[in-house]
Chain A
Amino acid sequence: MPKQISLTIDNIAVSAPENTLIIDAAKRAGIDIPVFCYHPSLKPVGMCRVCLVEVGRPIIDRATGAVVTEADDSPKIQFGPKLETACTTPVSDGMVVLVNSEKSKAARNEILEFLLTSHPLDCPVCDKGGECPLQNLTLAYGPGKSRFRFNEKQQLAKNVPLGELIFLDRERCIQCGRCVRYQTEIVDDPVIGFYQRGRSMQIITRSDPGFDSYFSGNTTDICPVGALTSTDFRFGARPWELKSAASLCTHCPVGCNLTIDVRREAKSGGDIAIKRIMPRQNEAVNDIWICDKGRFAHHFADKSNRITKSSIRKRNQLTPASLETVLDLVASKLRSRNRKLVTLVGGRLANEDLYNLKQLTEKLHGSGFLYNDMAGGELTCQMGLTQGTSLSDLKQGSVILVIASDLHEEAPIYWLRVKQAVERGATLIVINPRETRLDKYAAYKITYRYGDEIATINQLMPGKSEPHYPAAKVIQKAQGLIVFVGNEGLGQKSSRAVMESAAQLLINGGFTGKVGSGLVAVWKNANTQGAWEMGFELAGDLQKMIRAADVLLIAGADPVGDRPELQEAMQSARFSVVLELAPTATTNLAHVVIPVQAFSEREGTYTSAERRVQIFYPAIGVKDDVLPDYKIAALLAERLGISLPGESARQVFEHMSGHITGFKGLSYQALCEMPDQWPVAGGKNKYFGGTASANHQGVGVQLVLNPHSSRIQSTGGKVKGQTAYDEKKLWAVPVTRLYDQGNTLLHTKLLEKRMVACEMRIHPDTAALYGVQTGPVLLSFGKAAQQGNCVLDETTPLGFVLVHRSSGIPINEVTAVTLSGVNKSNQSIGNRNK
């Protein structure tokens, strides 16, 4: 417990822990001190000088060490000759801070006058206008008139692209350096920096592509002026025209809290459209940051890219039909006895959808499967993060083990949280066959050959005897162990064994149920964990599954897109119904297609990989007969005489909490409870600057560990399941990249240049062995072949060729392949779905 310091700020008695800065102590006491360069997440620099305040300290008699007192026994206070910056000065006992004295107020006024001399004052056309700290603080503390001649202002470039995502307006920049410091201190992508000096100082990028960081968008939020704007939002709307809704990111399983800002506009045909996506503060999940995929890749939900009408296949053509007709048809197919219903769901669906679809399937004695590349969800249900564990609390004594995952690509915010945990003192162990961006922060990096996952993890297995490996010793001594398991070079088959051995690590180390411990699977989708919680099991052989179904119901999944080999089975399916947002390779082959609402149009909950259930709210209303999945399931059930909740997502959730073990006792009320968060986001002075990240709609609830029906037992350590990849063959390994060409990213034109190409990454030595070189190559596997670009990369393990998931190469497991050069004249690089 740090020592408490007592001081007064504007005559209010304040107590704050030792080393607290005046600015934070004041904030906690509800006193606003304006800032520009200061940001509670960044190290203080004291550059902008707007937080100058009068600071007095008690006079200490040097001889006696006693405090000198006034006649009335109150301590005699000495004020320094200069004002001090509240953002760099720590509190001390007996300190007297005057925030609103004449001297402090004058200083603020004068600093603001200085800042405005170089500022273009183009607020009427500035994206930040209306939510701009410079504007707000000038109004509150600044001079009403400028003594600086307008025609003597510097004229600088106003449209400087720092890459294609972020633009810089050099005139508006006040050189606070928040963006530069964010990129350096927080996300360790120092790709932007200051150039030149004095009034000529400017932000530049030296990376190629410009501003090459997965977190670049966050700088537009923390920029206290309109200097940094995103290509997605700039000149798109004024802040006061926007309506906000609390939402969740659907791109990865982290569950970042979002605010969606919308506006009705002619360009969208008079409909309400998403104008921008910003992070919403949740200290346990995403802090106040999100990755650029979460920020920019929302266009898959745009009206123009969507299916808006239900349709029925007639003469091999999907023909529009009313929802009623379509539902009647599906119900009729399901009604006859002994019809086998097979439901295949994806992790994109909300908990409510999954629950209703599961109920419907069970009541019709069908079987429900989860479409996913990675197995082992029944283990995360019972071994997930123990309630009370927060990634933001991890520090010395905590051990984080990352197995087969490139977190920076698969779930950037997890990467950030792990990096920050290491900076707070946690120990990181990375087990991966190749270099990843996380290695830099790892105390131990263990490299293995693809296929040797289990043997490698087994070496770390805590047991009775003294462990041999240093990393194993660290695990043995850990106060808490969090294991992240990814899908690097794995697939359905091998991931189960990896998850099993990760679970054994936790059990054998005695970490089960301990706060600060648990198993996190880095799933592909936002709610894959939710599907496991609902009791869905992994679909094994998809061909067989499709062929076995009389009625095949697919929701939130595109198996044919990922696996073109399923095309034939899908074509010969007896009756297939697909619930989907947009046309996919799967909807193209369906008998019936029913459009559904996107996350931005409805209410619901997701369960993140760390088993936090959180609510998202509708941002956009929907007119047409497009319904959420849970409602469609309920309407179908109604036609079949089955009662399912369907009035609202909340109603479904209430049922769910009565039926699903992990959700017992939960309610929407509990999910939207709002604890105090520090640092304080939002508020009058927009402490974080720029767009406030305030959260009023809840931080969600972590599920209790769910003792699954097939409860995992300790196997005393070792897990079997070694996969041996013949060294004489060339193996293609699927790896995940953030900007892939998946369905949810395809429509985001902004990120097109950064999306991964259809390429084969290979070590130069391996390339030489197979006689291929940089340029077009043909990758053949089984009966299929895919042309792509060969890229030589020395970090690629020998004997393997890396292919990116969702980049047009339908390889979902480690697969034996052959590579051959292609004559340049007839090259045609394939893109999926095209």
Chain B
Amino acid sequence: MSEMLLLRHRQFPEIGTLDGYLKLSGFKPFKKVVSENNPVAVIDEVKESGLRGRGGAGFPTGVKWSFLPGDITPHYVVANADESEPGTFKDREIMESNPYQFLEGLMIACFAVKATLGYVYLRGEFWQIAEHLEQCMAELRKQGYLGKKLFNTSYELDLHTHLGAGAYICGEESALLESLEGRLGQPRLRPPYPAVFGLFGKPTVINNVETLTNVPLIIEKGAGWYQNYGTPKSTGVKIFSLSGNVNKPGNYELPLGTTFRELIYTHGGGLKPGRKVKAILPGGASSIVIKSSDKALDTPMDYESVAGLGSALGSASVIVVDDSVNMLWVSKKIINFFRHESCGKCTPCREGTYWMDQILNRTKTSKISAKDTALLKDVALQMRGKCLCPLGEFSTMAVVSSIEQFPEDFRS
């Protein structure tokens, strides 16, 4: 096993305690940046590293940090620990087992954007993790890593956790902010973007847990070192949450650019005997389904190559579907999920997901009439381009691409 950058607890179980983490050079990067007091340099280093958002959109992290206007204060940093995409379970492992590295990343991000308050927004089901993180934060306060006048500088910082009520939509950053402010979790109109008008109307950076967990090592070892991992445009490592019809589902930390075949067969233990990969959902339920082929399996999993297949890497929650599974059944599951999770704010998503769910629920068998298939596709396409936030569009991806690529599964 090569050296892990994010799932380091698998090699160093003691990293879960503050002492253990400190022994592994923990909080040296944070202490360094605070003492050197050059936030711009931190942002530049992260920009240089090529680190991109691991939540799904893949936006360059350093660039995101540099958007915050200096003349509006205070600034906030929010760690998005909503992790609600079906098939994604990477942030949970980080927060449970390697919490301090994540928190240090969050703290460095806070310093880089001159925020003195950071939040970890967790989905409601993660209440135990929230308690755990609160204990970690208390420990950090006790040992002088959080609080006023850190390392005898004028910088002060504190962190809080905030639990949502368990909603997919709250992983969307503007809905997350609404929820964090205590309101109904519904997305905001954009513009203005959170970088200008975010939490409590102030400039805010929102980063995924995994993204932040990369940051301490980038600061410690430098952008150049980080670029050694991954591909030139998709640098670094990624945790692939592998699930579905594979023998060894789980989180696999691999360099970006690893092929689907390597993930599924080398690391994931392949499929059950006699089964073949039929389809891949590379980014959870909101993926455009990839029809399996040798070309697809040999495609490197980086942002550009997966886009080349007409899909998107997203949060890299790779769901493998084998040839025993009917795609109509998969569509049913996915639409049911989106119907349940639609926030209801905009008409097309609220009514469209409900309608698609109704159509798919008409049959308890694996059959659907040609008329219903046509209507289902129509409804999905009718939603596209009209929704208030990306979630509405996401809900149509799997169903439309399944109908298009697996017409044989949508038969009467």
Contacts and interface: CB of A to CB of B under 8 A. Distances in A.
B386 A83 contact: yes
Contact of B350 (A46, A147, A149, A201): A201
Interface string A136-151: 0000000000011100
Interface in A106-140: 107, 110-111, 113-115, 117-118
Contact of A197 (B342, B348, B387): B342
B339 A199 contact: yes
B344 A201 contact: yes
A115 B189 contact: no
Interface in B328-379: 339-348, 350-355, 358, 375, 378
A223 to B, nearest CB: 16
Interface in B92-149: none
Interface string A232-276: 000000000000000000000000000000000000000000000
Contact of B351 (A81, A107, A117): A117
B271 interface: no
Contact of A199 (B167, B342, B375, B386): B342
Contacts of B385: 81-83
A175 B350 contact: yes
B184 interface: yes
Interface string B163-177: 000010100000000
A201 B353 CA distance: 14
A48 interface: yes
Given A82-B385, A198-B353, A48 B347 contact: yes
B388 interface: yes
Interface string A43-83: 01111111010000000000000000000000000000111
Interface of B is mostly: helix
Contacts of A198: 339-344, 350, 353-354
Interface string B379-395: 00011011110000000
Contacts of A111: 347-348, 386
A494 to B, nearest CB: 46
B343 A50 contact: no
Nearest to B340: A198
Contacts of A49: 346-348, 386-388
B348 to A, nearest CB: 6
A572 interface: no
Contacts of B386: 49, 52, 82-83, 107, 110-111
A30 B345 CA distance: 29
A147 B372 CA distance: 10
Interface in B284-330: none
Nearest to A193: B184
B351 A199 contact: yes
A193 B182 CA distance: 13
Contacts of B375: 147
B382 A117 contact: no
A50 B347 contact: yes
A145 to B, nearest CB: 13
A46 B354 contact: no
A199 B350 contact: yes
Which of A44, A52, A197, A199 neighbours the largest number of chain B CB atoms within 10 Å of its CB? A197
A115 B354 contact: no
A114 B167 contact: no
Interface in A150-201: 152, 154, 174-175, 193-194, 196-201
A148 B356 CA distance: 10
Contacts of B378: 147
Contacts of A201: 343-344, 350
A46 B342 contact: no
Contacts, number: 92
A456 interface: no
Interface in A544-559: none
A479 interface: no
Nearest to A199: B354
A196 B348 CA distance: 18
A744 interface: no
B165 to A, nearest CB: 10
A149 B354 CA distance: 12
A88 interface: yes
Contacts of B353: 198-199
Contact of B167 (A83, A113, A174, A197): A197
A193 B350 CA distance: 18
B337 to A, nearest CB: 11
Contacts of A113: 382
A83 B387 CA distance: 10
Given A114-B347, A197-B167, A47 B388 contact: yes
Contacts of B342: 197-199
Given A114-B352, A117-B351, A47 B340 contact: no
Interface in A17-65: 44-50, 52
Interface in A186-233: 193-194, 196-201
Q: Which of A88, A114, A147, A148 has the most CB of B within 10 A?
A: A114
A139 B346 CA distance: 22
Contacts of B382: 110, 113-114
Contacts of A154: 354
Nearest to B385: A82
B351 A47 contact: no
A791 B339 CA distance: 50
B388 A114 contact: no
Nearest to A46: B189
A174 B345 CA distance: 10
Contacts of B189: 44-46, 88
Given A47-B347, A48-B347, A175-B350, A194 B184 contact: yes
Interface of B: 167, 169, 184-185, 189, 339-348, 350-355, 358, 375, 378, 382-383, 385-388
For the complex of A and B, list the 9 residue pairs with the smallest distance between their C-beta atoms, beginning with the closest. Answer: A201-B344, A114-B351, A198-B342, A199-B354, A198-B344, A82-B385, A152-B358, A110-B382, A197-B344
Interface of A: 44-50, 52, 81-83, 88, 107, 110-111, 113-115, 117-118, 147-149, 152, 154, 174-175, 193-194, 196-201
27 contacts: A46-B388, A48-B347, A88-B189, A107-B386, A111-B347, A111-B386, A114-B383, A117-B355, A118-B351, A148-B358, A175-B347, A193-B184, A194-B184, A197-B167, A197-B169, A197-B184, A197-B342, A197-B343, A198-B342, A198-B343, A198-B344, A198-B350, A199-B339, A199-B350, A199-B351, A200-B344, A201-B343
